[in-house]
Structure 1
Amino acid sequence: MEYLERELMRLSIMLLLVLVNVCHGCREQERIALLQLKDSINHPNGSSLPSWEDWDGEEPTDCCEWEGVECNATTRRIIKLSLNSTREYELGDWYLNTSMFLPFESLVNLDLTNNVLLGCIENEGFEKLSRLSNLHILDLSENYFNNRILSSLNGLSSLKTLRLYDNNLTGQVYIEDFDSLNNLKELNISWNRLESIVSREGFEKLSGLSNLQILDLSSNSHNNSILSSLSGLSSLNTLKLQQNNLIGQLYIQDFNDLNNLKELDISRNDLASIITREDFFHASSLITSLKLSGSTTQNFQLAYTSLRLLILLRVELGDEEFKLDGEIEDNSYGASCTSLSSFSDSSLKMMT
């Protein structure tokens, strides 16, 4: 009997602690961390996040209901912080203290887009976030981060999506800075001023990103040499290279090592010709979406060995000439060729 009483007392105390900790919806330590984060965002005299108030009259507020905050319905832990465009531009540059996010142990998605972020305070860089083992999505786009941010992100092995578009990344990016991001599926570093992806040790393949499926390098200054740097991305299915410095002649077989590539965007470059030779058919047989809009391409020649390519291939052209070089092996599928006639403003020529 005495044992049962002790057990009931123990369970009652545990239940009371849980109720106190999850009082009014959210965890107390996370509520405190949010209020500290608000102070940092508004320093020195901003007024953002007015809903982030500790008390509503005589009652504490539920921080799970605050603007930009999403909690797990069961645990009431914060899983998403949408803080895009939160800091007022007039307040000037913001240097981040990433330790402020450590209390959010279940955080999955952190969006800090467009917050005048210039960097992190000393010894408080993004490497601190490696303790957040559930962090899958990190969006730091439309800020002022330079290349130094990349090495601090390298330890975030839990990341599946990393977006850094429209920052101050320039010149060379080192492959080693991505070594530990082996769970990454989407990487967006578009709208920067990047020129190349190189290795400090001369190794030119991004093989560490073995799970990467979407890579957006658009609106940078990459030239044709970027293609060899990408050859280790065996899981890649979407590659965006529009509006770079690709010039001259481009062979689709340059993408042969990208075994799963389905969508390729090389529009708005200065390509004189794009050719697939019959003896290098592998890559072109997999690509189902090829975008060339706004390109200066004058000659597009595609050699094919089976009609399946014609069925799968979707090409977006402006006024350029489109040539298909080959013979249809099975005329029973001839009707499928009519799908190509839907390409507006394009000249289609069958060359046999």
Structure 2
Amino acid sequence: MTNGKIVYLWLLILFMANGWWCCYCCWNEERTALLQLKANIKYSTRDDDYLSLWGANETSDCCRWEGIVCSNTTRRVIELSITGDILRNWRFNASLFVPFKNLKALLLPGHSLAGWVKNEGFEKLRQLRNLEVLDLSGNRFNHSIFEPVNQLSSLMSLNLSSNYIGLRSDIWFTHNKTGSASERLSGLDKLEILDLSDNNLDLENVFSTLQINTSTMALKRLDIRYNQFQSFLPNEELGALRNIEYLLLDGNILDENFLRSSGVMSSLKVLLACVDLKYLEEVSLSRNRFTGKLPPCLGNLTFLRVIDLTLNWFSGNIASSPLSRLLSLEYLLIANNNFEIPILVKSFCEMEELHLHSLQSWRRKR
């Protein structure tokens, strides 16, 4: 046997001994890190948890384990998802996730996580410079979660929905209005998706409370449904909405001022705003890009006198729309949309001549 063949044989044995023979498998150090994560939370798992299948045999490819996604090219772990109640009452330990240098998404929803090991909080994940998505929904974090996640400057999507952020935190928010920006979300300049829904937040203002850096933000989707926000954002921060495409506001107690910002939302595609505005008298959503049928909640604005929907792409039969329930309506402006107007509009316009006049004027313009 020639020296070249001997060297080749020894290299082959060495590669197989280190698991490198599987060129399309996950990396050994990341497989080991996953098994360490499993061992750390083993006390809270059950026999039927999918985590119990991790490393079922020594040669299994961790890229095929449930909850793990690897890069097709490098075979590095890029997404780690642990769902269900596997981590119930487990305290987060950042060191267990740091080995995954290429990690882009960390998803830990619905585990009732209440905190983290001392000096092992989420801020330590800033070592993961590729981390873009963090899902901590359905846990038990309070306002203290803002400070550590604020340091994850690479984040593009943050989900903190259905936590306890608004409970037992009134004193902190009320008396710390001028607190350090590091205690809010001012460091997430790349953030495009923010979900704070269902947190019982009873704060006065969305943007100023969280101190989001509105001059550099790229926010495209904001979900603050089912909180108790009182106002949307001060006039000087309207520029924060220039890139917004999805704005979800249901279940708040916003005043009418938030509607004044609609003119700057040039990218808006979806607006859900069935908020408690039953005494609202005037609404202007003109010159946006709203599409589809009118939301049913508009029919709840029983004191509405004026509504301007012009220059949008709304569609549907106007006679059977929620607007037909607005008995106090005096001015209806709907030009330049895609509404269907029946020839017989009497059923819709029985209330006052002004309603009928508005529709006739609209039809002439069309």
TM-score by length of 1: 0.76
Q: 2:239, 2:264 within 8 Å by CA — same for their partners in 1?
A: yes
Amino acid at match of 2:34: L
Work out which of the residue numbers 252, 255, 260 in structure 1 matches 2:262.
255
Question: CA separation in 2, counterparts of 1:246 and 1:262?
Answer: 20
Amino acid at match of 1:50: S
1:221 is aligned to 2:228: yes
Question: CA separation in 2, counterparts of 1:26 and 1:265?
Answer: 43
Question: CA separation in 2, counterparts of 1:15 and 1:339?
Answer: 78
Question: CA separation in 2, counterparts of 1:215 and 1:242?
Answer: 12
Instruction: Return the structure number with greater strand share.
Output: 1
1:140 maps to what in 2? 136
> Percent of counterpart pairs with the same letter?
26
Deviating more after overlay: 80-89 vs 27-36: 80-89
Question: CA separation in 1, counterparts of 2:77 and 2:281?
Answer: 49
How far residue 204 of structure 1 moved from its aligned partner, in angstroms, is 6.8
Q: 1:83 to 1:222 in 2, by over 3 A?
A: same
* CA deviation map 1:99-140 (0-9, x unaligned): 111111111111100112111111111111111121111110
Amino acid at match of 2:113: L
1:29 is aligned to 2:34: no
Amino acid at match of 1:76: R
Q: Give 3-state SS (helix, strand or coil) of 1:141's partner.
A: coil
Question: CA separation in 2, counterparts of 1:86 and 1:200?
Answer: 32
Work out which of the residue numbers 297, 303, 308 in structure 2 matches 1:293.
297
1:325 is aligned to 2:332: yes
Amino acid at match of 1:33: A
1:159 is aligned to 2:158: no
Q: 1:252, 1:284 within 8 Å by CA — same for their partners in 2?
A: no
Amino acid at match of 1:27: W
Q: 1:264, 1:287 within 8 Å by CA — same for their partners in 2?
A: no
Q: 1:127, 1:153 within 8 Å by CA — same for their partners in 2?
A: yes
Amino acid at match of 2:214: S
RMSD: 3.9
1:211 is aligned to 2:218: yes
TM-score by length of 2: 0.73
How far residue 54 of structure 1 moved from its aligned partner, in angstroms, is 5.5
Amino acid at match of 2:52: P
Q: 1:192 to 1:94 in 2, by over 3 A?
A: same
Q: 1:232, 1:257 within 8 Å by CA — same for their partners in 2?
A: yes
Taking the TM superposition and a 5 Å limit, the aligned residue runs for 1:39-54 are: 39-43=39-43, 46-47=46-47, 48=49, 49-53=51-55
Q: Give 3-state SS (helix, strand or coil) of 1:79's partner.
A: strand
1:302 maps to what in 2? 307
1:119 is aligned to 2:115: yes
Q: 1:204 to 1:133 in 2, by over 3 A?
A: closer
Question: CA separation in 2, counterparts of 1:256 and 1:286?
Answer: 7
Q: 1:117 to 1:220 in 2, by over 3 A?
A: same
Work out which of the residue numbers 233, 250, 264 in structure 1 matches 2:271.
264
* CA deviation map 1:245-278 (0-9, x unaligned): 235x55732433444333221114243225246x
Question: CA separation in 1, counterparts of 2:342 and 2:217?
Answer: 34
Q: 2:231, 2:258 within 8 Å by CA — same for their partners in 1?
A: no
Q: Give 3-state SS (helix, strand or coil) of 1:36's partner.
A: helix
* CA deviation map 1:126-168 (0-9, x unaligned): 1111111211111100000111111101111111111010001
Taking the TM superposition and a 5 Å limit, the aligned residue runs for 1:21-100 are: 22-24=20-22, 25-43=25-43, 46-47=46-47, 48=49, 49-53=51-55, 55=57, 59-87=58-86, 89=88, 93-100=89-96
Amino acid at match of 1:64: C
Question: CA separation in 2, counterparts of 1:263 and 1:30?
Answer: 40
Q: 1:146 to 1:276 in 2, by over 3 A?
A: same
Question: CA separation in 2, counterparts of 1:41 and 1:207?
Answer: 39
1:337 maps to what in 2? 339
Q: 2:220, 2:243 within 8 Å by CA — same for their partners in 1?
A: yes
Q: Give 3-state SS (helix, strand or coil) of 1:182's partner.
A: coil
* CA deviation map 1:21-44 (0-9, x unaligned): 645411111111111111223325
Unaligned runs of 5+ in 2: 359-366
Work out which of the residue numbers 283, 286, 303 in structure 2 matches 1:284.
286
1:192 is aligned to 2:199: yes
Q: Give 3-state SS (helix, strand or coil) of 2:52's partner.
A: coil
Amino acid at match of 2:31: R
Counting matched residue pairs gives: 322
